[in-house]
Amino acid sequence: MKRYRNGEIWDFEHEMPVVGGNDEVVLGLDGGTTSTVCICMPLLRVADPFPDPLPVLARAVAGCSNHNSVGEAAARETLEQVMADALAKSGSNRSAVRAVCLAVSGVNHPTDQQRIVNWLREMFPSYVRLYVQNDAVAALASGTLGKLHGCVLIAGTGTIAYGFTEDGREARAAGAGPTLGDWGSGYGIAAQALTAVIRAYDGRGPETNLTSSILEKIGLSSPDELIGWTYADPSWARIAALVPVVVSCAEAGDEVANRILFESVQELALSVKAVVERLRLCGEDGKDSFPLVMVGGVLEAKKRWDIGKEVINCISKEFPGVFPIRPKVEPAVGAALLARNFYMKEFCKEL
């Protein structure tokens, strides 16, 4: 272990006592396109069932850690800072850590996993177990309390469907980013709305209330200013922040906004169906029960036009055994539970 990019990040450890075996902790990280959350929890060597509520020692938040979005240097620095912050808040240090599970968007291949494991290995003692997963895996675990079985649908700034079988097979659909078609995501919905405004303005599309609503929201006076506004800062989260405007217009009866949301529901449901069918989570007859964990701002039931509810209704028609779960804990807690479960599984094998 060595001080990585910024040695001062870990300066707090010099003033702390050596941590004993009874103070073992795990770290769970959820790194999305917008922010990174780190949870520090006790190891819970004996936990059947887990205590309710789960004992969270500390929570820290930092910026984006998706290396595809911000670059490797910024992603590494963000991860190091948020883990140090969580340990400092909990009164722990790296000598207390037994396992780290980092679930981050942008992990799409074993080479991505190995690259990040190498970053973490330079930050922690050699005995710390390190696990790197796509952020969808932590989201699933947040609904199943660390058990990798079922399907998760994330629809926030981006979107992905990810599934696991009890024997360890896995499959995913979507999640390739906006350039390759993250339809149904917050970015996808808002980008379609912006496109509809431009099309209405130049005569290629029907008139829509999205025009006045979006212009008012972002403080512009004319649709021809949208091009400059969009490309001045085309960050995914900035565009996705317009989703509530689209939902409000749809609820007010705007046909264009309603079509955008309806097509988004179909795309999200299609992602889930693709995963369920590839893994046969529904069984041979299509009626077996399986959990579907629903995560992300797009799926939250805050409006009359409930995207999450419509997705479930669409999926239920084909898979009547689907069991929707809206997690009571955040994905970073799911990652911490995975760190604990992975560690205890390896620990028991070694006994």
Go through the domains of the chain in sequence order and give each one's CATH number: 11-133+330-350 (3.30.420.40), 178-320 (3.30.420.40)
Q: Is the pLDDT of residue 3 over 60?
A: no
pLDDT class for 17, splitting at 50, 70, 90? low
pLDDT at site 19: 56
Amino acid at site 89:
K
Q: Which residue has the tokens 């829509």?
A: 208
Amino acid at site 27:
L
Helix residue ranges per DSSP H, 60-146: 67-70, 72-90, 110-121, 135-144
pLDDT at site 182: 83
The span from the CA of 203 to the CA of 147, in Å, is 52
175 dihedral zone (left: phi>0; alpha: psi -120 to 50; beta): left
Omega cis (within 30) before 53? yes
- Our separate counts of H helices and E strands in the chain read 12, 10
**Torsions phi, psi for 340 (to 5 deg):** -65, -45
pLDDT in tens, 292-306: 999 999 998 677 899
The span from the CA of 319 to the CA of 302, in Å, is 25
Q: Is the pLDDT of residue 328 over 50?
A: yes
Packing angle between helix 186-202 and helix 255-279, nearest 10 degrees? 140
The span from the CA of 123 to the CA of 79, in Å, is 10
pLDDT class for 273, splitting at 50, 70, 90? very high
pLDDT in tens, 111-165: 888 988 998 999 999 999 999 998 889 999 999 988 899 999 999 888 999 999 9
> Of the given ranges (89-98, 233-242, 330-339), which has the lowest mean pLDDT?
233-242
Please enumerate in sequence order all residues whose Cβ is within 8 A of that of 312, keeping only pairs 6 or more positions apart, or say none: 292, 294, 322, 324
Q: Is the pLDDT of residue 250 over 90?
A: yes
pTM: 0.83
Instruction: State the average pLDDT for the chain.
Output: 90
